[in-house]
């Protein structure tokens, strides 16, 4: 409760500081959040670390700015109140489109630079491909999930399916369509599939291997029906009109942050990030794949 109060307070302080003067040189990181206390604690150490390396540029401190939704975040980007954010690939592309943000770096999570989505079903259900899912139900995570919503959505649409959101996983699917319901947690997705609440589920390959998301007792009864192409694990975006010197320094610091033992805790709290790298090679390919998928999921992103 105290932390929440501190977070809210920090939010307003940060906002006031930012509104007071753009020249105050406070480095602001932003995120859409429905859990401000948790997200503030995740972001603040790293932004402080980075800001501490920008004193010669006039950056005196780091700040966290949390938005209730992506619309608000878009606005903050547009108003120049947020300098930096970490996003899934599709959200990053969204902000690039609507908020004049630019793809900045790829971030590795738990040592993984890229991932892909798996669509799975019970082995005994007889589903071998996406086509077998017509008229069936699939479990996604939530409306903001990249691997467990946007990517499988794009995969289905790319394959020509029409999807409809169900009020409940127990609801019936309109004929000819694929119904989906949000299970909120990866484990629920696996359980729904295993318990035959839904016919299939989708999350990324790491979830598939994670026994806490996909217990062995379930996994052994299930099979992967379809995999997506690899996508960057997470993308760092910055405001396009950010001071070039700051932007350059930000990149320099983030690219070397994994080498600094002092930054270890800050990186860990930053959603278990292990390092940052340039958008090159497979990262670049992943971004491009995402751009292609964006054609199918644009409305959902909005």
Q: How far is the CB of 201 from another protein (least distance, A)?
A: 11
Select from 48, 61, 185, 277 the one that contacts another protein (CB under 8 A). Answer: 185
Q: How far is the CB of 172 from another protein (least distance, A)?
A: 17
Select from 215, 258, 269, 296 the one that contacts another protein (CB under 8 A). Answer: 215
Select from 128, 143, 184, 302 the one that contacts another protein (CB under 8 A). Answer: 184
Select from 48, 61, 102, 221 the one that contacts another protein (CB under 8 A). Answer: 221
The residue range among 38-46, 82-90, 96-104, 186-194 that interacts with another protein, by the rule CB under 8 A, is: 186-194
The residue range among 60-68, 102-110, 192-200, 281-289 that interacts with another protein, by the rule CB under 8 A, is: 192-200
For another protein, which is the closer residue by CB, 113 or 169? 169
For the segment 74-133, give every residue that binds another protein (CB under 8 A): none
Select from 92, 101, 218, 266 the one that contacts another protein (CB under 8 A). Answer: 218
Interface pattern 227-266 for another protein (x via CB under 8 A): ----------------------------------------
For another protein, which is the closer residue by CB, 72 or 185? 185
Check binding of 169 to another protein (CB under 8 A): yes
For another protein, which is the closer residue by CB, 92 or 187? 187
DSSP labels for 54-114? -GGGT--EEEEEEESSHHHHHHHHHTT---EEEE-HHHHHHHHHHS-EEEEEEEEETTBSE
């Amino acid at each position: 409760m105290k932390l929440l109060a501190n977070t809210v307070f920090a939010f307003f302080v940060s906002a006031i500081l930012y509104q007071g003067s753009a020249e105050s040189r406070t480095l602001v990181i932003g995120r859409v959040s429905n859990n401000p206390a948790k997200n503030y604690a995740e972001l603040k150490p790293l932004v402080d670390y980075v800001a501490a390396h920008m004193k010669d540029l006039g950056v005196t401190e780091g700040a966290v700015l949390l938005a209730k939704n992506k619309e608000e975040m878009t606005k903050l980007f547009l108003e120049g109140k947020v300098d930096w954010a970490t996003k899934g690939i599709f959200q990053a592309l969204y902000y690039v489109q609507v908020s004049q943000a630019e793809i900045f770096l790829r971030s590795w999570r738990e040592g993984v630079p890229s991932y892909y989505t798996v669509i799975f079903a019970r082995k005994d259900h007889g589903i071998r491909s996406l086509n077998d899912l017509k008229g069936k139900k699939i479990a996604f995570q939530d409306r903001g999930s990249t691997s467990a919503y946007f990517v499988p959505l794009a995969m289905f649409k790319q394959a020509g399916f029409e999807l409809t959101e169900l009020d409940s996983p127990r609801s019936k699917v309109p004929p000819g369509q694929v119904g989906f319901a949000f299970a909120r947690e990866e484990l629920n997705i696996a359980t729904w599939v295993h318990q035959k609440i839904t016919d299939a589920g989708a999350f990324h390959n790491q979830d598939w291997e994670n026994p806490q998301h996909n217990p062995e007792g379930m996994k052994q009864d299930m099979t992967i029906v379809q995999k997506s192409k690899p996508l960057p694990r997470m993308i760092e975006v910055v405001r396009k009109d950010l001071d070039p010197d700051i932007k350059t320094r930000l990149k320099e610091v983030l690219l070397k942050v994994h080498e600094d033992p002092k930054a270890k805790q800050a990186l860990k709290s930053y959603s278990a990030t292990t390092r940052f790298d340039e958008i090159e090679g497979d990262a670049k390919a992943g971004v491009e794949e995402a751009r292609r998928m964006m054609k199918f999921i644009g409305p959902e992103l909005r």
